Structure 1
Amino acid sequence: MPVNLLEMPYLVSVMVVTELDYQEIFLFSLCSRRSLSLVKKARIQVPKLAFRYDKCDRQEEFVIGVKTNMHEWSYVTSVKHVPELDWEGVMNVKAELEYESIIKSWHKKDGSFRHQIERTDKPMTVQKEYQDYINSIFHYSGSYKLILSMKCKGQLPNITNVEYIEIEDGTIDEQRNGTIDAQFLSNLLTTYPDPHTLSVDVDIVGELPKDSLFFQVQNVAVGSLCGPEYIHNFLGRHLRLDSVTVTDQGIIQFLEKWISNKAYHNLETLVIFVDHPLIINADLIRQTIECEEYNSEEPEKRPEHFVIDAPFDYLMPIERYSLRKDNVVEIKRATDGKRAFLRIYPTYLQFIVPQKLP
C-alpha cells in the first residue's frame, strides 16, 4: 500500500528522502512545493556536479549527474530540447520551475530506471534554470565538469563556474568525425574562463597561436594528433599528449629550456606518446643532457614514488610512478638546483618535477 511521505513525521520523512538516489531526489522535488521544501530541509549534498551536452534522437540533450569518483557519475536528470511537446501518455510537471514540460521514463536493459524531461524553451534559458535548480536542492556552490560532444553544434551551454572541460568526439566508431579549431577553443575558454583542466579527444584543425588561452590552462590532455608546439608553448602544470609529432631535437630543446629556467616554470608533469613511425632515441638524449643515473646503493636520494594528481578523468587517471629505477635519470635545473626525473621509452616519455622532495 502506498504511503504518503509528506504525512509522515518530519524526521522520518527527512530520513527517507536521504536514502533516495539522486535521480529520485530530483523527481520527488518536482512533485509539489511541499516535496521541494522537504528535499531542501534534508540538506542533501553532493561531492561534484557534471554536465554533459550531447544529442539524443537528433535533438540536443543536456544531462546532469553527480561525480562519485574519477570515472563514474550518478544520473540526476536530462533535458531534451524538442520543437513541440507530445502529450500522449505522459505527465506534465509544473511546480517550482514555472514552465510546461514532459517527463518520459523507461527502464534500461539492466533494469535501472531512467527519465528525461522534454522542453521547447530556448536551450540557453533552460540550461541556466536547471543549473540553478540543481544547486538549490543539493545546496551546491562548487565548480562543475562540462562534457561537450561534437555532435552538438551552435552555442555553448549556458552554465557558470566550469572548472573541468572535456571535449569528446561523440561517435562510437574509431574514425573521429568531430573537429575543433583555434576559434572554437578561443570561444570556449572565453565563455568558461580559467578552467583548471581541459581534455580534448577530437582533432584540432590548424595551428594554435602561441598566446592561445589553450596553452595557459593548468592541466591539458590531448588525445588526437598534435605538433611539437603543444609542448613548446605550454605554460601550465600537467600536459599529456597521446599522439605528438616531436623529434629528438625537439625533446632536447624542451629539456634545455627547463634546465636553464627559460621556460616551464610551473611544469610538474609531461607525458607524451610520439606518433608512429617516430621513435625516441633515448641514448642520444641522455648523452646530450647532463643527467644523473640511479644509484641503487643510495635509494634514499630519490622519492620512492610520484603520484600525478592531474584530474584527467578520461585520458589519464591518477597514476603512481616509481622513481627508484635504472631507467629513470635525474636532471637538475641550473639556476636553483630544482630536481626533475626523466624516463624514456622508444615511443613514450615521462618528465616529472616533484614540488616537494625529502
Structure 2
Amino acid sequence: MQLLRFPNLVQEKIFGSLELDELLVLSFCSNRTKYLIECLQKNRFRKIATISYTFDVNYFSVCTQPYYSKQGCRLMFDMRKKVKPMQLFGIGSMISLCRWKNSQYDSSKYEYESSQEQTTVAKAVHSYLYQFFGSHAVYQVFSCIRPPSLEKIDRTHIRVPENTTAEELEACFTASPNQEFIQLNGYFNGNLCPNSAILGAEHLTVNSGGYGDEILLGFRGKRLECKGPFHDATIVQFLNEWKSNRGFHNLESLIINSSDYKSYDRGDIIKNMDVKQLDRPEDILQITWEMSHSCSYSMFSIVPPKSEPSDFRSRDYLIRDGDGEKVSISIENRNVRFALWKGNSCEIINR
C-alpha cells in the first residue's frame, strides 16, 4: 500500500482530509494502517465527546457527538439476507459494507445476516471504536429491545419490551455494572434481581407499571427518580433507615411521582418521626440539584448526555443520627421528595 511509504507528515495530512467514517474503512486494510491512524489522529479522536448506540429489532446505529463536521460520523447496521462477507471490525467474514447517503444524513451502512449476529457485531464494533476514542468519551446506549451487554458503557436508556423478566433485564448490564445513569421505561414492571447492578447506578430514573418498593429499598446510588406507586409503609421504612443511619448513605436526592396511581398520607407517614421545621414560620427552604436525564432515543440520535435542575420547597427536615446530616422532605398528594442539604444548593425564601 503506497500510503504506508509516505512520511508521517504527509500521512497526517491525508488522514486529516478524510471524514471519520472513511478513516474507519481505511483502518480495515491492515493492522499497520489502523495503528498509524490511531497515532496520527489521536488529537482528533479526543474531540469526540459522546458515542451513542441505538438498538432496534433489525438494526442498530452508532453516532458520535460532535457529528456535523469531519470530527464525527454515523454508522448504520442493518440485518439483510445473503450478505457478502468481508473482514471488518476485526470479526472476520460476517458483515458487508456499502456507502449510504441521502440529502440529510451521510452515513456508512453495514449489513449482517441474522438477528443472532447483532450481539456479536455490536460487541465487535464497540471494542473497535473504543480503541480509537478511548475512555475520555461518554458511551451511551438507547434501546427498545434488550440490548447486548457492552463493556465500559456509561449511560443506558431502555424502553423495556413486554414480558421481559428481571433476569433478562439484568443481563443487559453484566458487562457494565457501574453506570453513571440508567433509565427504564416501556413495559418495566418494577421487578429486579436481588442486588441488581441497576440499583447501583449513580443516577437512576424509572417509570414503573408496578409497585417500586424494592427499587427504593435496594437503591445504592446517589439520585433516584421514580414514576409509579409505593406503599406508605415503604416510605416510612426508608425514612426511618436513613434517619437512624442504617442505610442509604450514598443517597443525595429522591423524587417519587405516583401520578394517578396513589396519594400519600403525610400525617400518617411522619407521625412517629422527629420531623423538624425551620425556625421562622415565614421561611421556606428551596433545594436544587442537577439530575441526569436521557434524550429521546433515535437511530439518528446525536444529543449528548445532559442534566437538568430538579428542586422543591419545604419547611420540613430530618436530622440523621450519628453525624447530624440534614435532609429536606416533602410529602404532598402523589409526590414524595427528599434531598440532602449537603451537596445540593439551598436557599431560604420568604413565603
Q: TM-score range by the shorter chain?
A: 0.7 to 0.9
Listed as ranges, the matches of 1:72-111 within 5 Å are 75-85=73-83, 97=90, 98-99=92-93, 101-108=95-102, 111=104
1:276-314 Cα distance to aligned partner (Å, 9 max, x none): 142234465566541223748889xx7x753235x3324
Q: CA contact under 8 A between 2:189 and 2:210: conserved in structure 1?
A: no
Listed as ranges, the matches of 1:100-179 within 5 Å are 101-108=95-102, 111-120=104-113, 122-140=117-135, 144-150=139-145, 157=148, 159-169=150-160, 178-179=162-163
3-state SS of 1:246 partner: coil
1:256 alignment partner in structure 2: 240
1:49-75 Cα distance to aligned partner (Å, 9 max, x none): 3323323xxx3x232222559xxxx65
Aligned length in residues = 324
2:55 to 46, 53, 56: 53
Question: Is 1:349 the equivalent of 2:347?
Answer: no
2:289 alignment partner in structure 1: 307
1:53-103 Cα distance to aligned partner (Å, 9 max, x none): 323xxx3x232222559xxxx6531323434127xxxxx965784547433
1:339 to 326, 331, 348: 326
Structure 1 residues 330 and 23 mapped into 2: Cα distance closer, same or farther (>3 Å)?
Answer: farther
Deviation of 1:134 (Å): 1.5
Question: Structure 2 CA distance, aligned partners of 1:308 and 1:24?
Answer: 38
1:245-294 Cα distance to aligned partner (Å, 9 max, x none): 12444433322221112221221111111141422344655665412237
More contact order relative to length (CA 8 Å, sep ≥ 6): 2
Structure 1 residues 291 and 24 mapped into 2: Cα distance closer, same or farther (>3 Å)?
Answer: farther
Question: Structure 1 CA distance, aligned partners of 2:190 and 2:331?
Answer: 29
Structure 1 residues 117 and 96 mapped into 2: Cα distance closer, same or farther (>3 Å)?
Answer: closer
1:234 alignment partner in structure 2: 219
Q: CA contact under 8 A between 1:102 and 1:117: conserved in structure 2?
A: yes
Q: Which runs of 5+ in 1 are unaligned?
A: 87-91, 170-176
Question: Structure 2 CA distance, aligned partners of 1:283 and 1:273?
Answer: 18
Question: Structure 2 CA distance, aligned partners of 1:206 and 1:100?
Answer: 38
Deviation of 1:118 (Å): 1.0
Structure 1 residues 8 and 195 mapped into 2: Cα distance closer, same or farther (>3 Å)?
Answer: same
3-state SS of 1:162 partner: coil
Structure 1 residues 185 and 115 mapped into 2: Cα distance closer, same or farther (>3 Å)?
Answer: same
Deviation of 1:241 (Å): 0.7
2:309 to 314, 320, 338: 320
Question: Is 1:193 the equivalent of 2:174?
Answer: no
Question: Structure 2 CA distance, aligned partners of 1:281 and 1:140?
Answer: 47
Deviation of 1:187 (Å): 2.6
Structure 1 residues 93 and 313 mapped into 2: Cα distance closer, same or farther (>3 Å)?
Answer: same
Question: Is 1:26 the equivalent of 2:7?
Answer: no
Structure 1 residues 127 and 209 mapped into 2: Cα distance closer, same or farther (>3 Å)?
Answer: closer
Q: Which runs of 5+ in 2 are unaligned?
A: 297-304, 347-351
- What TM-score does the superposition give when structure 1 sets the normalisation length? 0.71
Q: RMSD value over aligned CA atoms?
A: 4.1
Give the AA of the match of 1:163. Answer: D
- What TM-score does the superposition give when structure 2 sets the normalisation length? 0.72
Question: Structure 1 CA distance, aligned partners of 2:170 and 2:95?
Answer: 34
Report % sequence identity. Answer: 18
Give the AA of the match of 1:53. Answer: F
Structure 1 residues 211 and 5 mapped into 2: Cα distance closer, same or farther (>3 Å)?
Answer: closer
Give the AA of the match of 1:200. Answer: L
